[in-house]
Amino acid sequence: MGFMRKWIERLRNLAFPEKAAEQTLDEMEFHLEMEIQERVARGVPPDEARRQAMRDFGGVDRYREQVREARWGTGLQDGFRDARYAVRALIRRPTYSLLVLGTLAVGIGATTALFTIVDGILLKPLPYPEPEQVIRVENSWNGSPQARLSPPEHLDLVDQLEDWPGMGSYTFGSATLTHDGPAERARVAFVTAGVLEALAISPAMGRVFTEEEDNSAAAVMILTDGYWRSRFGADPDIIGKTVQVSGFEREVIGVFPPEFRMPEDLTSPTPTQFVVPMGFDPTISRDVRGNHFLLALARLPQGMTPEEGHQVLAAAGMRMVEAYPNGYPEDMGFRTAGVPLLDSLVGPVRPMLLLLLAAVGMAFLIVCANVANLLLTRVTGRTHELALRKALGAGRLRIVAQVMVESVLLALAGSALGIAVSAAFSEALVALMPAGIPRIEDIGLNPKVLFFGVGLGLLAGLLFSAAPAFYAGRENATATLKSGAQSTGDIQGDRFRRWLVVGQVAVAIVLTTGAALVTKSFMALAKVDPGFRTENIVSASVGLPSASYPTDEEVILFWEAFLADAAAIPGVTEVGAVTNLPLATRLGDMSFELEEERIPEGRDKPDSDWQVVTPGYFAAMGVRLQRGRAITSEDRPDSRGVVVINETMASTHWPGQDPIGRRIRLGGELTQPRWAEVVGVVDDVRHLGLDQPRRPQMYFAHTQFRFWANGRPVRSLTLVAQSSIQASGVQAALRGRLADRDPSLALSQITTIEDAFSNSIAQPRFASLLIASFSSIALVLALVGVYGVMMVAVRHRTREFGVRMALGAAPNALAGKVLRDGFKITLAGTAIGLVAVLASSAVIERFLFQVSATDPLMLTTTVLAVMSAAGLASYAPARLASRTDPILALKAE
């Protein structure tokens, strides 16, 4: 009861402070009146009575304040009042407030946007139960740091990891699907039953396949949610229906839940559409260890860390090497490893994202420094007012609190604006982001991001209000009131501001140098000769189902006929086809022996990347023939085996000799050896990327090449057509020609080489573009900082300059003094920044291509640019100083 009343009273006073104060005042007046009446009753004349009573009573205002302070919640009320006061003060200075808010919104917005991206890609857990237990299983050997598994290795590991919850392998392909309508190419994942166990995924509808179905390659399939919706209209009775896949019937046994993704789908814009059993026969011979094409996953047992899992896998790999010494020559350096799945997916982009986050973080520091500068200027501008308040009895804490409230208000408003900016900004960044960045769909605003944005704002608020508040609290009231405009706060403030600007210039130097280096590195990358033409070439893939093209002759005939169709399209000048398009797909490598040099047992044989091409490919792709001849239509299945090699392969194996006419032996112990004669040498093609080292490459004729595994020709090829007309026209015509020849086939991966080329350098381009924009923002802000601090310093020294002028100083001398001052600040900042750049050059160099982080020309250029810009920024303050009017300056006091 009493408790309730107490709080009602407290809240009422808090809610209606005016009413509480009014009542207090009323009863004091009443008190005073009663005192007067009492004195009058004792015979004191009324005027005298009033005087005495007033004297005894003291100041009503002072008591009222004491009464107020006796009550609970006064601090809170002060806070509200300060906030109201601050809002009013901010509205009265719209330029100042907008400047601070705008700077903050840009700083917080950019930083939060980048955090949103980093969160979505690097931090969010993968969409599997207990995702940290899922690891990628991979091999490595000399020259191949992240290699896949071969089927026997998969079978061995499944045996060795029997007590793990799941271990499996998978690979992707495309299949032609027919069901109620035209044929369609679909992306399919071939998975072993262990993959579904490792990902711990259960279907939304139906069931997944069993190990027996997997081993017997049962004709079943599981649809992903997206494909079930888009292709089958979310048919609720889909389970049990049969669908034609590449000419064979398969039964739909399940549908995955909407959140299900194959791990690679997180990094690829083309998601898996359905999943079928891999169908390995576990009884196959395990002696043939090559042919590494399987991606593999495993789920760690409860309580096992990824590092422990890695040890188990490494030991299993060593046992394989011991068991099959012929499969793993000593100098091959074969290892098996386990890597957390998230690391393996986002590892490649992590350094770039962290670099960008560091860059934006530095820009944010400059933003804070600028805002601190603005606040400090405002506080020192208010020195008089604050001193007066202090003289009137405001405590130091109250004054500090008041200054901080204003900053925190600004910071909060800045965060709100910043989060709005970041939402727009991160959307724009995502749109700009290059293809192949993992988990783009996971990027978005979420509570973590909001928390980050607001936290950033508050941190900024504290950072940039600490110093001003400190100076405001320390302000010596008497000194200030006596000394007139010039105050101790001005001088201390100036000194502090100077250091802020030194820091800003230092950070700007680091950022600008970084941006210049990254941009130069990108330009060096873009200048690399890819080894092929990038303009006016269209490409598209076609795969032939073995059901409708069962014989080798049919496959070869189809390709010859379709290439002829394509060549007949008006405007198309050259046509050819290849197994793997440069810059878009990976290449397999193949080992071989030179005729003149047999490799002893146990030694690693040389290997080379390999491609299968049709006649016309080199011409269509613009790969220059250096000597000899290209693959032609004269190379038939039954004619002499031929191979075209690249420059690097020629100089590696036949340095200083003519490789034409030499023979290499393929296949080795796996199949009947097959001989191929070198007939031509072409330019190196940077197949994996412009920043990748040159590798030996060999090109076989499509008519002659046979897979060692099944002795059959390549069924899926990518056609490239050089044309003088619009890419879209060529693509439409190609579609039409294919439909005329075989309506059950579909084109896939239709693109232009120009796009593929631009995608391949999109990541470094994106990074350099972003760093360049962050550093320009940072540089401009730093210059604003230099300008601001010099301007304020000149204003504070008006009197000094006036005196100097009155004593005969030349205006130019004063201007020179200011310029020198600005130069000193810039020089100090530049020196600190340069030390930081040199100290971190090892880190920076990891991001650079053919550019040294300590490139003297780059460093000198950046330093000169920043310093001359800073010189410009102090030009206006210098002019102001030179125009000081001594009379006005001295009168102003």
What is the Cβ-side half-sphere exposure of residue 449, based on CA atoms within 13 angstroms?
27
Site for another protein in 66-125 (CB under 8 A): 66-67, 69-72
Name the strand (E) or helix (H) holding 371: helix 350-381
Amino acid at 85: Y
Q: Are 241 and 200 in contact (CB under 8 A)?
A: no
Nearest to 201 by CA among 131, 275, 126, 260: 260
Q: Find the shortest distance in angstroms from Cβ 478 to another protein.
A: 24
Q: Find the shortest distance in angstroms from Cβ 17 to another protein.
A: 13
Q: Find the shortest distance in angstroms from Cβ 42 to another protein.
A: 13
Provide the β-strand partners of residue 209: none
Count residues binding another protein (CB under 8 A): 27
Q: Find the shortest distance in angstroms from Cβ 418 to another protein.
A: 41
Q: Find the shortest distance in angstroms from Cβ 72 to another protein.
A: 5
- 172 touches another protein by CB under 8 A: no
Length of the chain: 893
Please say which residue, 22 or 212, places its beta carbon nearer to another protein: 22
**Alpha helix positions (H), 119-257:** 151-160, 193-199, 211-215, 225-232
Q: Which residues of 588-615 are buried (b: 16+ CB within 10 A; e: fewer)?
A: ebbebbeeeeebeeeebebbbbbbbbbb
Q: How many helices (H) and strands (E) does the chain have?
A: 30, 22
d(CA 515, CA 862): 10
Please say which residue, 53 or 433, places its beta carbon nearer to another protein: 53
Q: Are 486 and 796 in contact (CB under 8 A)?
A: yes
Please say which residue, 44 or 435, places its beta carbon nearer to another protein: 44
Site for another protein in 10-49 (CB under 8 A): 10, 23-24, 26-28, 30-31, 34-35
Please say which residue, 11 or 561, places its beta carbon nearer to another protein: 11
Instruction: Choose the binding region for another protein from 54-62, 127-135, 848-856, 884-892 (rule: CB under 8 A).
Output: 54-62
Please say which residue, 30 or 80, places its beta carbon nearer to another protein: 30
Instruction: Choose the binding region for another protein from 57-65, 516-524, 733-741, 822-830 (rule: CB under 8 A).
Output: 57-65
Please say which residue, 62 or 603, places its beta carbon nearer to another protein: 62
Site for another protein in 202-241 (CB under 8 A): none
d(CA 764, CA 769): 8
Please say which residue, 30 or 707, places its beta carbon nearer to another protein: 30
Q: Find the shortest distance in angstroms from Cβ 119 to another protein.
A: 47
Please say which residue, 19 or 883, places its beta carbon nearer to another protein: 19
Nearest to 141 by CA among 392, 284, 335: 335
- 52 touches another protein by CB under 8 A: no
What is the Cβ-side half-sphere exposure of residue 282, based on CA atoms within 13 angstroms?
14
CB atoms within 10 A of CB 58: 9
SS (H, E, C) 329-348: CHHHCCEEEEEEHHHHHHCC
Tell me the backbone φ, ψ of residue 665, rounded to 5 degrees: -115, 125
Q: Find the shortest distance in angstroms from Cβ 15 to another protein.
A: 15
Provide the β-strand partners of residue 646: 682
- 809 touches another protein by CB under 8 A: no
Instruction: Choose the binding region for another protein from 4-12, 489-497, 558-566, 645-653 (rule: CB under 8 A).
Output: 4-12
- 5 touches another protein by CB under 8 A: yes
Strands 274-277 and 184-191: parallel
Instruction: Choose the binding region for another protein from 5-13, 198-206, 225-233, 251-259 (rule: CB under 8 A).
Output: 5-13
Please say which residue, 56 or 331, places its beta carbon nearer to another protein: 56
Alpha carbon distances (Å) from 469 to 102, 131, 436, 501: 22, 47, 48, 19
Site string for another protein, 693-732 (x = CB under 8 A): ----------------------------------------
DSSP 288-355: ------BEEEEEPPTT--HHHHHHHHHHHHHHHHHH-TTTS-GGG--EEEEEEHHHHHHTTTHHHHHH
**Alpha helix positions (H), 551-670:** 552-567, 617-621, 647-653
Q: Find the shortest distance in angstroms from Cβ 39 to another protein.
A: 13
CB atoms within 10 A of CB 661: 9
Q: Find the shortest distance in angstroms from Cβ 19 to another protein.
A: 12
Q: Find the shortest distance in angstroms from Cβ 66 to another protein.
A: 5
Instruction: Choose the binding region for another protein from 61-69, 378-386, 428-436, 788-796 (rule: CB under 8 A).
Output: 61-69
Q: Find the shortest distance in angstroms from Cβ 799 to another protein.
A: 44
Please say which residue, 31 or 124, places its beta carbon nearer to another protein: 31
Q: Find the shortest distance in angstroms from Cβ 83 to another protein.
A: 24
- 3 touches another protein by CB under 8 A: yes
Alpha carbon distances (Å) from 333 to 206, 678, 749: 45, 30, 36
Please say which residue, 22 or 281, places its beta carbon nearer to another protein: 22
Please say which residue, 27 or 535, places its beta carbon nearer to another protein: 27
Of the candidate residues 51, 63, 304, 879, the single one contacting another protein (CB under 8 A): 63
Nearest to 589 by CA among 137, 138, 151, 148: 148
Q: Find the shortest distance in angstroms from Cβ 52 to another protein.
A: 13
Please say which residue, 74 or 671, places its beta carbon nearer to another protein: 74
Name the strand (E) or helix (H) holding 886: helix 886-891
Q: Find the shortest distance in angstroms from Cβ 22 to another protein.
A: 11
Please say which residue, 61 or 596, places its beta carbon nearer to another protein: 61
Q: Which residues bind another protein (CB under 8 A)?
A: 1-3, 5-6, 9-10, 23-24, 26-28, 30-31, 34-35, 56-58, 62-63, 66-67, 69-72
